Amino acid sequence: MLNGKSILITGGTGSFGKKCTEIILKRYKPEKLIIFSRDELKQFEMAQVFSEKEYPCIRYFIGDVRDKDRLYRVFDGVDYVIHAAALKQIPAAERNPFEVINTNIVGAENIINAAIDREVKKVIALSTDKAANPINLYGATKLCSDKLFISGNSYSGWHGSRFSVVRYGNVIGSRGSVIPFFTKMKETGTIPITDPGMTRFWITLEQGVEFVIKCLDMCVGGELLVPKIPSMNIMDLAKAIAPDCEYQTIGIRPGEKLHEEMITVDDSRHTLEFDEYYVVEPEFDWWINERHRSDGGKAVKEGFRYASNLNDKWLTIEELRSLANIT
């Protein structure tokens, strides 16, 4: 579905954006692939890998999702938008709340309005497990963003723009991952552990991109899609990276949970299960769509909750070492 289309990635110079660009250029033949971000240095560095000379379809646009006028300009003629731009560092969000709100919430509103008015066909917004029952500002802004994109379907009217959300957990290989931090601390001989019982969902960058592209194809608008991915205990993670180090328990940091969740008990009332993912349907009175049910989706049991400590899929130490290329 991407062949001959114009695709735009917000936050396109981030970890997700670069991997998404790599996969799209390798497998598809888009008319245009637009990288939209606010950092000129990162765009320059990315252009050394994906040059406009080697890939004539690629375009680099400097801009910020806070700037509605710039979005109106760059969305002109775009078929699909993958929205990966966000401020996501939890401590920084607590110290700079208005900045995070302007990017994650106001930026989402700007994208919705620009997409509708420019008649973008589909928008997929990336979410996070931090958005389910959030306890920090970052998670709260992402939950608000999720709600905005889902409700955006109520505003599109005859324009036909459709908005969906993809939510997944920690990404192996991303810049914000704990893995590079543990790797660096390995040199000191001591690994700080917040809580030995802590668990997290894990997914690789490539798996995340694959799932987003799949969702772009199958989404109808209004749904929140969650992949089935494994969990891992923090101690197993530490042993995979630094088996010979000492482990020092330092306590859970402000804004952290002991376990993450991606589907709450309340959301489960509208959740369909598939072999490899879940779909949380919207609560619109007018939203009647049988596609997911005809594709084999089954309602989850009452009281279902998809949390990292209740998972039936777990990463082993050996599997993580393989996925993260840890030697």
Q: Is 250 helix (H, G, I), strand (E, B) or coil?
A: coil
Q: Which phi and psi angles does 178 have, rounded to 5°?
A: -75, -15
Residue with tokens 């000379």: 53
Rounded (10°) angle between helices 40-49 and 15-27: 30
* The two structure tokens encoding residue 212: 């987003």
CA 228 to chain centre: 14
- Cα gap 49→61, rounded to integer Å: 16
* DSSP letter assigned to residue 245: S
- Do the Cβ atoms of 189 and 245 come closer than 8 Å? yes
Whether 184 is catalytic is no
* The two structure tokens encoding residue 129: 């497990």
Strand runs (DSSP E) across 155-276, as ranges? 162-166, 170-172, 190-193, 199-204, 224-227, 231-233, 246-249, 261-263, 271-273
- Cα gap 123→146, rounded to integer Å: 12
The pairing of beta strand 277-280 with beta strand 32-37:
unpaired
Which residue among 18, 122, 130, 228 is the active-site one? 130
As annotated, the active-site residues are 130
